[in-house]
Amino acid sequence: MKRGLTSFTYTQVGTLRVSIAALFMSVIGFRHFKLFERKDLVSLAIVGFLGNAIPYVLFPLAVNHLDSGVVGIINSLVPLFTVLIGGWFFGQKATGTQWQGVAVGLLGAVLLILPFEEILNGGFAIEGELAYGFFGVLATMMYGTSVNTLKTNLPHLKALTITTLSLATAAPFTIAFSLLSGVTEVFKTDPNAWTNFGYIAVLGILGSGIAVIIFNRLIQITTALFSSSVTYAIPVVAILWGIWDGEHILWNHLLGLGVIITGIYLVNRRN
C-alpha cells in the first residue's frame, strides 16, 4: 500500500486491490464456480462486500482525515465486534477468558501503535476530524459480520471456493469504480504508475487472494473470535516490514507485541 499510494489514491488502491484479487482467484479457482448455489448468494455477497470491498474504501476515507495510528487502533476493534455481532445475531457466546483476551489484545494494539516517544515528550496531539473515525468503526463492524457469516452459513464450502465466489460478487463494482475514479488518467500522466500498480498487484494477489484463502480456512477450523484476533497481529507484521524498509523499532513495539500474544492466547484458551 505504501508504494501504491505514491501514484494512486487510497480508494483506487482499495478497489484495484479487490479487482486484481478477484481476477487472480477467477484464474486459479475457475473450477469452483460450478459449486455456486443460489442459496449461498447472500452469504457470499456479505463476505465479498463487508469482508473485502467496502472496508477497503472506508478505512482509506478515515485515514485521509485522521492520524494513521488512531485508525490502526480502530481496526483493532474487529475481535470485539466479532464477539458482539456473534452474540447478537448468530448465537455465538464468548467465555469470560475470551473477553479478557479481547481486552488484552486491544491494549497491546494501543501500546504498539501509539507514538509513546512523542507522548512522553509532550509533542503528541490527535490531528484530524474525529467524526471520520466512525467510518473505521463501521468497517470493523463489517469485518465482524463477515467472519460470523462465513463461520455460520458457509461451512459446507471450501476456503478456496468461498474466496473465489465472494470476490467475484464484488469484482464488477470495484472494477467499475476504479475506471470511473480516473485510474486510466494516472497511467497516462504518472511515469511511475505501472511500477506502483505492480505493488498493488502483489497486494491483491498475496494480501487479498492467497492470504484470504488461508484466513477463510482458519475461520472454518477455529472459532470466529480466534480467527478475527489475527487483526492484532497485522500491526506486528507491518512493523517487521517497516524495519526491513528502514523504519525503527521502539520499546513500546516489543511491549505491545508481548501483550498481543498474551491476548491471542487467552482468546484461544479453554476455560
C-alpha span between 87 and 268 (Å, rounded): 17
- Residue 135 phi/psi, 5-degree rounding, is -65, -35
* Helix, strand, or coil (residue 98): helix
C-alpha span between 15 and 1 (Å, rounded): 12
C-alpha span between 69 and 228 (Å, rounded): 20
Lookup: cell for 234: 497485522
- Residue 39 phi/psi, 5-degree rounding, is -65, -20
Tens digit of pLDDT for each residue in 199-216?
Answer: 999 989 998 899 999 989
The whole-number pLDDT of residue 227 equals 84
Tens digit of pLDDT for each residue in 62-91?
Answer: 777 766 666 666 777 788 888 888 888 888
Please check the confidence at residue 120 and state whether its pLDDT lies above 80.
Answer: no
Q: Which of 173, 194, 163 is nearest to 19 (CA)?
A: 173
pLDDT band (50, 70, 90) for residue 111: confident
Q: At what angle do helices 234-244 and 251-268 cross, to 10 degrees?
A: 150
Please check the confidence at residue 126 and state whether its pLDDT lies above 60.
Answer: no
Average pLDDT, the chain: 83
Instruction: Determine the longest span between alpha carbons in the chain, in angstroms.
Output: 60
C-alpha span between 111 and 253 (Å, rounded): 7
Q: Which amino acid is at 206?
A: L
The whole-number pLDDT of residue 250 equals 67
pLDDT band (50, 70, 90) for residue 185: very high
Q: Which of 204, 137, 197 is nearest to 167 (CA)?
A: 204
Task: Identify any residues that bridge with 66 across adjacent strands, giving them in sequence order.
Answer: 128
CA dihedral 186, 169, 230, 236 (to 10 degrees): -10
- Helix, strand counts (H, E) of the chain: 15, 0
Please check the confidence at residue 264 and state whether its pLDDT lies above 70.
Answer: yes
The whole-number pLDDT of residue 69 equals 60
Reported pTM: 0.79
Q: At what angle do helices 78-89 and 96-113 cross, to 10 degrees?
A: 150
Tens digit of pLDDT for each residue in 9-51?
Answer: 888 988 999 999 999 999 999 999 999 999 999 999 999 999 9
Q: Which amino acid is at 197?
A: F
